[in-house]
Structure 1
Amino acid sequence: MASLPKVATAGVASVFGIGLSVLRRQAATGVLRIGQINVPNSATRIMERTVITTAGLDEQVGHITQMVPGLDVAQAKALLQSAFNPNKPVEVVIGGSRVRSFFGEGAFRPDSDLDIGFAAKMKNHQIDNILDAFDSAGALKSERGIRIFSGNNPPSGPIVSPQEFFQRSGIRGPFPPERAGQPFGPSGYISVHPNGTITIVPPGIN
C-alpha cells in the first residue's frame, strides 16, 4: 500500500481522521461477489470532500488502486503516465458504478467498464491515446460510449466538467437508446491531479 499521505487541504475531511481510516478499511475489506454483481464490503464511508497530498505518481497509483475496484497497478500507472504527459498534463477524473460502490452507494457488474474523464478541453485523438494506453495495460476496459471531458457536447447533453458529469441525477434521455428513460444518480468521483494530489468527492457533494 502507498505511504501515508502528507497533508489534507483545509476545509475538507482530514486524511489523518475519517479519510485515512476509510481508505484503510476499504482496502482491507474490498468487495463481496454476489452473483453477477460486486458490492462494497464495508459500512464505513467517506462522507465529505477529502483531499490527499502524495509524493507523486507512484503514490497516487497506490491510493487509487485501493479505492477503485478492479483497477490494478499496471493500468493505473499507464493511465496517469499517459495523462500526465509533460507537454500537456491533464487532470484525470474517475467515476461511474465502480467508484459509486467505493462510497457504499450501490453495486457494479464485474464486466463494467471504467468511466474515465478529463478536466480539460481535449481532441478525440488525445483522449483515445490515453484510453488506449489504459486498455492495453490490463483486463479492465475504459468506457468509450461518451468521451467525458470539459466542454464536450455529446448527444446526451453538454459536459461542463467530468466532476459535474459524475454528480448528475435524473432520467436518461434518448442516448444511449438501450438505457433511455432509466433513472440515474450521482456516482461521486476520484480526481487525480498532475500536482500529486487526489480529490475524493462522494455522490451528491459539491
Structure 2
Amino acid sequence: MATANTAATPTIVVFDLGGVLFDWNPDYLYRKLIADEAERKWFLANICNGEWNLQQDGGRPLSEATATLSEHHPGHAQLIHAFYARWTEMLNGTLAEGMAIFEALETAGVPLYALTNWSAETFPYARKTHPFQSVLQRFKDVLVSGEEKLIKPDARIYQRMLERIRKHYPGAQAEHLVFIDDVQRNAEAARALGWRAIHHTSPESTAAQLRAWGLPA
C-alpha cells in the first residue's frame, strides 16, 4: 500500500504485542496467590513491578533478577519466585479487537512487523505455543528486546527495527512506518524519530487513527 509521501514504498505497520495483540497481565497469576486485592496491587506496584520486569526484557537473566529481588525482600521470596516460575499463567490468549485490526491490515496486504519488550528467556514459549505462535508466524519479522539487549523507549531499538525492515524494503524511511504501542512513552519515542505512532488506549481509537491515515482497520 502506498501513500502520497511513500512513493513505491509500502506503508508498514509495526505492532507492540502485549496489551495490543496479546493479553498479558501479572494479575492473572497473582489473583491465585494473593487473595486480598489491596495487598496484591501493592506487591505488583512495589516488589515485582513493571520497572523490575523491564530489566529482564532488556536481557537481564531471570535467575539473577529473582535472586537479587528475593535477597532484598526475603519475606516475599516465594511470591517473587513465582513471577517467572509461573509466568505462562500471566498470558491469556489474544485480544480479539486488536487482532481484528491486525487482520484487516493483513488482508489489505500491509506489511506487518512486531517490536516487543519481552525477555529472551520467556519469548520462546510464545514462539511455540498456540495461539501466539500462529500470530507471530504472520509477521514479516519480530524484534524482541531481550534478544537485542535494548528496550523501548531507547531510540536504538527503533533504529534497529528500521534496519531490519530495510532488508525487505530498502527504501523504507521513518515516515513510512506506523507504530502501535499501549505504553505512551514508547509511542512518543517512535514519534520523536519521525514514525507515525499511536498510543493504543482502545481498539476503537487506534482503528480510527489508522483509517485517518488511509489504512484499513
Whether TM-score is above 0.5 comes out as no
Using CA pairs under 8 Å that are at least 6 residues apart, name the structure with larger relative contact order, 1 or 2.
2
The structure number with the bigger radius of gyration is 2
Compare the two structures and name the one with the higher helix fraction: 2
